[in-house]
Structure 1
């Protein structure tokens, strides 16, 4: 969490808030969510204080904990709504209370009990929504006006600032009625809800923020010119995985002429929780959060926590420039990633226009995109979209003359934790790319980045265990590596999803005549790689060692991989494309081969040499599907294209270390190494 001083500076720049409903008993979730909301730079939090829940068993104890816990940390706006069924004229929480004054009495009780934790208090939520206020029993809103107007008057008498809940969708006639009935005259702010782009019901009525807020200002100005306009709910659902659009909509809402903006919401709704009666299966209700239901940051939350609104604006401003009508760009999906950005740089160096299609999901990859733009300017065309969103990506392929498909979920561990998400990105996402290419009708060649994991764990191979590595018993495999005639044996959800994608690419060459081929990659490493414990282990180990941190190894460290420098990988992709006319429908292995076959322990020893000191290392259990030995037999690729791995692994490792020192560690280690060398 950032310190209070930096949070205050950020608030002074452009304040915003989040909406988050907490259900009784969610102490643990509240404790987990609140620090992240604060870390996002939010100044305000809007949550509900349900009258019905307060009077239910355990309700008073729950709010006795929640309101002080939250109100001490952030500017809190409690929304008081929902009639206790026992007090309701309809027997439901959406019904008017039998005694309208009882609502004001409850508000008075809340002000007495919790008033030191907030200044503003919101009176009801979405009063034109049957699920919140049953206007069928109050068709002219006389009951509502008497109930809320009386509570607002009393709150003002006690020195608080009442906020009138906003209708959704916006209804200027209702708002004018609130003015004519005197409610607007006794409130300090009026709420507005807007979710442009999310709800089909808004398409015919949404006129834009400026128009609707202008209508509000005109009406409020007639009855209470001093009242503020607050956006008490603005949001955008990522149900189609378009997280970058959510980030753009956030910035748009933040810049409209309103006095406050609350974004709905911080967390997605868990899939097992009914949102509203009759709306259980509408996916849009479940993906409105800045983080997922299990607290994984989406792009919006991640960027806010990395650098606040300014960071968010910098990334969201990366929009695709206009491509000339006679241009035929190359599309690189996942083009802000490690291999994708290196390949894009190579293409751009040769004068190509390149569309970088990326959702920027992985931390750090926007730096690669900025690097490409700095180097190549207007020939870089960012399209910030997700391959899971077919409608969102189709336009990017309309004029493509070639497609390199790298966009993927890349970690075995993530696939095991979330197999559905892994499938949607790797399998469905690849199918979306193929369909976008097919629909464009230009027969653009497609080259897919597959993986050696399609061959499974290779458990049937006999192994000899040496002091620092495993080697195959079979001398031919030891000398040549695993060839493409090895039977496919999908293992782990990641292996399955990539394997499905691998086969779809090859089949589209057969079934639809789209020139397409597959490269089944081993471990690629090199500059512009932001390695993690789950993926990109060579870079991850170097980053840890250069930073003076310990390294954790899964398994014994004797597992062997044929690591390949990214420059060699880029050369392979480009040679395959150059020969696509006769290689369509084929799959090739891509790796460093036997000359670059190294154990994890060997890499660790070389890293210690480069770091100039021992590295603390621990060993844990083997991971699912981990191969004892994988070295690619690349003779098929060599024979068809003339490609060969040209960079030895030690030279390549030093190259990566130098890049990391210069770009991640500010050159300090480089200066230290020079001092040691001269000593």
Structure 2
């Protein structure tokens, strides 16, 4: 018997579609196939089929799915008008009518699939009312007859999996002859998600082994399929979902279907009585609005090989008595550069990261490759307090850099932004407090806590805005500037900023805050929404258009990440004197540059004219922000060393050396020009 998930490493997803969701069906199938899925399990509801519009819906759905992916339709739910109980979970009045429906489905749609699943979770009261069928005699007659007929017609029937797993029920199916007329039997198991399984779950090998022994007694040729398994990310533990998926692909079964591809929308009741259980709403590999979770992103970027590589990075191995430095967001741009500096000086470093940002796993792999056993990855989300607490147990210092970093994303998803930036920071502070070691916390804040600065009068020069106020023009914006939170991102980071400072006052945890301007440098994965210097360079080096929001005269003081790392480390070294204080961090007036001036410099460096396109201003954008860093300079004897032009050229060189696709694009562009 071929265990194809072990040898071929194929897998499928479970996804239930509702009538009228044509667009969702099309996008979900395309996304699942991009993720490497070869199989799909979905329902063909008997009750829905006979409801108004049902036949037309399935006339579109089943052929559409069957032509694109290996399809397993699950036939269940009695039409209430035909049910003995008046509910879809009841046995039909005429038990043979289910076999007649199966026969009709095979005739109408059978060319689109080879296997057909008969019922879903038959020992679950919500799917089969066993109170009216206490010995399952009606179920066995109904499903056994349908399976016999499907098999006679040349299809392969699959018996729906019990949930929770019940070997006595399965053995009963054998005694009643049902197992003898099916080609496969389903198994449902969700270790780690449901409380009901905590006391009874004995592991995949035990339960599937027991199931296999029962099958061998009654039908040794029948295959064992895991028709539903999954893990809910209701606590935002997306890395754990990856681990569970990885383990599921190695269980002793012939097929594995992961439940599910997409989260259930929050306004849709899952099942009667389960509306308020958050676990039901977060089972997907993507969110209900198609935002990829870590599982979907890894599969989409590199399939199972990528997933295996990233899962292999999660290996905390601290020796007893070691006191590490913890960096939340340590796989990110600033975090990985800070980690490199600490590791190079012999520190043990815990990298706490959820790897949500595409590409940051490369930073973590690079750190592991260069510093091996002194890098201790803990792949978890700061929103999940239970998961992150162990990271801080022995920490001697904490750099808290993990965050949602884009204003645009915060406007689209304000709750997620708040949970990550505000609640996530509170979780970190609480984990530090509970550890009882009073580990210093250095927090990465933002200049957005000062708001849009629209009260600053501006003059318009050739390529930039210039403050009318002479002091601001000479020194920049100082820490005495009133806080004025704006946009969900500014609010969430501002809340976090103030919580960090208050924990220094209320709980005696040494802490300091850096309100950053624009940081750039190696290991940055710049996007249109965050990391604009790297983003412009990436677009320019690839010969792609650059979009500027606003008129391009906005001014920012850019700071090389090496200078930023010195500031972070300097604050920790001087924590006694900087405790409880915020500091601005940026390149200062000598590294102030407008968007237009930056683009001109990039053109000069690359020797190519950029295709620059302009769009509307974005909400909360500041005409001008230059950090007044005199307070920081006085506190830790720090100042920027890297001139912005030299720093941008260094970043361009690093990108060309570390992004093969850029070299290929540049080479192709030269050929076209020639």
Q: Distance in 2 between matches of 1:233 and 1:148?
A: 20
How many angstroms apart in 2 are the aligned matches of 1:165 and 1:557?
A: 61
- Do 2:5 and 2:255's aligned partners in 1 also have CA atoms closer than 8 Å? no
Partner of 2:531: 536
Aligned residues: 668
Q: Which residue is equivalent to 2:457?
A: 462
Answer whether contact 2:5 2:11 (CA < 8 A) is retained. no
- The answer to which of 461-470 and 417-426 deviates more is 461-470
C-alpha distance in structure 2 between counterparts of 1:325 and 1:671, whole Å: 50
CA distance in 1, matches of 2:653, 2:306: 27
The 1-side partners of 2:621 and 2:424 are apart by 25
Q: Is the 8 A contact 2:542 2:666 kept in 1?
A: no
1:124-149 Cα distance to aligned partner (Å, 9 max, x none): 00011111111111111011000000
Match of 1:43 in 2: 38
Matched, 1:270 2:265: yes
In structure 1, the partner of 2:514 is: 519
Q: How much is the aligned-residue C-alpha RMSD, in angstroms? A: 1.6
- Secondary structure of 1:563 counterpart: strand
The correspondence for 1:290, drawn from 258, 282, 285, is 285
Equivalent-residue separation in structure 2 for 1:542 and 1:307 (angstroms): 25
1:655 equivalenced with 2:655 (yes/no): no
State the distance in 1 between where 2:379 and 2:74 align. 36
Aligned counterpart in structure 2 of residue 616 of structure 1, from 586, 611, 619: 611
Please list every run of 5 or more consecutive structure 2 residues that lacks an aligned counterpart in the other structure. none
What's the CA shift for 1:672? 6.8
The answer for the alignment partner of 2:482 in structure 1 is 487
Are 1:408 and 2:403 counterparts? yes
1:280 is paired with a residue whose SS is coil
Q: Which whole-Å CA distance do the structure 1 matches of 2:611 and 2:314 have between them?
A: 44
Q: Is the 8 A contact 2:445 2:497 kept in 1?
A: yes
Matched, 1:592 2:577: no
Normalised TM-score (structure 1):
0.97
Provide, for residues 432-471 of structure 1, a one-character-per-residue CA deviation record: whole Å limited to 9, x for no partner.
0000000000000000000000000001110111121101
Q: CA deviation at 1:665?
A: 3.4
Residue in structure 2 matched with residue 4 of structure 1 by the alignment: none
Query: Is 1:171 the counterpart of 2:166 in the alignment?
Result: yes
Match of 1:553 in 2: 548
Partner of residue 78 from structure 1, selected from 30, 48, 73: 73
Q: Counterparts of 2:270 and 2:663 in 1: how far apart (Å)?
A: 53
Moved over 6 A (4+): 9-12, 669-673
In 2: Cα distance, 1:647 partner to 1:148 partner: 74
Deviations 1:615-634 (A, max 9, x none): 10111111111000000000
Specify every segment of 5 or more residues in structure 1 that has no aligned partner in the other structure, as ranges.
1-8
Partner-residue secondary structure (3-state), 1:76: strand
Q: Using the TM superposition, give the Cα deviation of residue 12 of structure 1 relative to its aligned residue in structure 2, in angstroms.
A: 7.3
Please name the residue that 1:566 is paired with: 561
Shift, 1:320, TM fit: 2.4
Displacement of 1:427:
0.2
Contact 1:451 1:498 in 2 (8 A): yes
- What corresponds to 1:116 in structure 2? 111
Please, which of 431, 434, 440 is the counterpart of residue 436 of structure 1? 431
Q: What SS does structure 2 have at the residue aligned with 1:198?
A: coil
Aligned to 2:660: 665
1:620-649 CA-partner distances (Å, limit 9, x unpaired): 111111000000000000001000000000
Do structure 1's residue 67 and structure 2's residue 62 form an aligned pair?
Answer: yes
Shift of 1:666: 6.0
Following TM superposition, by how much is the alpha carbon of 1:669 offset from its aligned partner in structure 2, in angstroms?
7.7
Instruction: Say yes or no: does 1:305 pair with 2:295.
Output: no
Residue 579 (structure 1) aligned to one of 563, 574, 586: 574
Q: Is the contact between residue 259 and residue 284 of structure 2 (CA under 8 Å) also seen in structure 1?
A: yes
Rounded to whole Å, the distance in 1 between the matches of 2:634 and 2:44 is: 71
What is aligned with 2:178? 183
Q: Is the 8 Å Cα contact of residues 11 and 43 (structure 1) preserved in structure 2?
A: no
Which among 93, 100, 113 is matched to residue 88 of structure 2? 93
Task: Say yes or no: does 1:356 pair with 2:351.
Answer: yes
Match of 1:365 in 2: 360
Which residue of the partner structure matches residue 390 of structure 2? 395
